[in-house]
Amino acid sequence: MWDYSEKVLDHYRNPRNVGSIEDADAIGEAGSLACGDSLKIYLKIENGIVTDAKFQTFGCGSAVASSSILTEMIIGKPIEEVRKITNKDIAEALDGLPPEKMHCSVMGHEALEDALKNYFHEEAASQEKIVCTCFNVSEKQIWDAIKENGLKTVDEVTNYTKAGGACGRCKGLIQDIINTYYKKSEEETKLTSTQMVLKVNKIIETLIAPELQKDGGGIELIDIQGNKVMVKLYGRCSSCKNSLVTLKNFVETMLKDKVSKDIEVIQV
Ligand code: FES
């Protein structure tokens, strides 16, 4: 039995805004009956504000609760604000969902995204590359779920998107997407050499030097070449070889933790 919050149970037992809107300005769909869950959301939009929202879903209690709270979250909101809502926001509004049920919040977000795409006449999601044919999950859906929720494993992606949860043939592709995503974000966060010097300097001055000074020691930054940080350790500590090794390890651990895990400290 899943551990549901009171809010999930409330929205499941008393779902708000169930139904359809005949003259809806935008309709969005996500999931499919073949996959076991499906959601259709209807929006009425006037002067850039969502004035009404209704939903129809075939799915579990979490799907009902996610859809219900989503309609409450968007009614009365400007469309630009609605566009920023993520699946995480939906899950948080419900005071959380069990990990295995996070895909219900993702389905709510996808249906909303689909409705907004239709409203703005943007490219349809159906043209995207499908990675998991069992659940009809696209590469973009998996990428977005990883990005928005910090997913790191294939099992987590399955919990959030269902991809990989049946025959498992797509698991290799999901792993490739995870690898590409983290490689890319690592590259994006790579520091320039100036940023690296500033950051290393700051950590040395504010965190490392004060610690060394407590034992009568000190540290001087000599140079930085790529990921190699050249430092001079001096003071009482420099008289003992073992203590220098310990100090060098301390400095390296600190810099790896606070600046970049690739850093290598060289004592000169
Ligand atoms: S192709 Fe993804 S589980 Fe079958």
Q: Is the shortest distance between the CB of 166 and ligand 1 below 6 Å?
A: yes
The model's pTM: 0.60
Low-confidence residues in the chain, pLDDT < 50: 125-126, 237
Domains of the chain, CATH where assigned: 6-188 (3.90.1010.10), 193-267 (3.30.300.130)
Which pLDDT belongs to residue 260? Answer: 82
Distances (CA, A) of 35 to 13, 63, 125, 264: 23, 13, 17, 49
CA distance linking residue 24 with residue 15, whole number of Å: 20
Take atom 4 of ligand 1 and give the residue whose Cα is closest. Answer: 167
Which pLDDT belongs to residue 188? Answer: 64
- Per the annotation, the verdict on 35 as an active-site residue is yes
Q: Is the shortest distance between the CB of 172 and ligand 1 below 6 Å?
A: no
Atom of ligand 1 nearest to the CA of 135: 2
CA distance linking residue 63 with residue 59, whole number of Å: 6
Q: Is the shortest distance between the CB of 170 and ligand 1 below 6 Å?
A: yes
Distance 9 CA to ligand 1 centre (A): 30
42 touches 27 (CB < 8 A): yes
Which pLDDT belongs to residue 94? Answer: 96
Selected catalytic residue, list 35, 170, 237, 240: 35
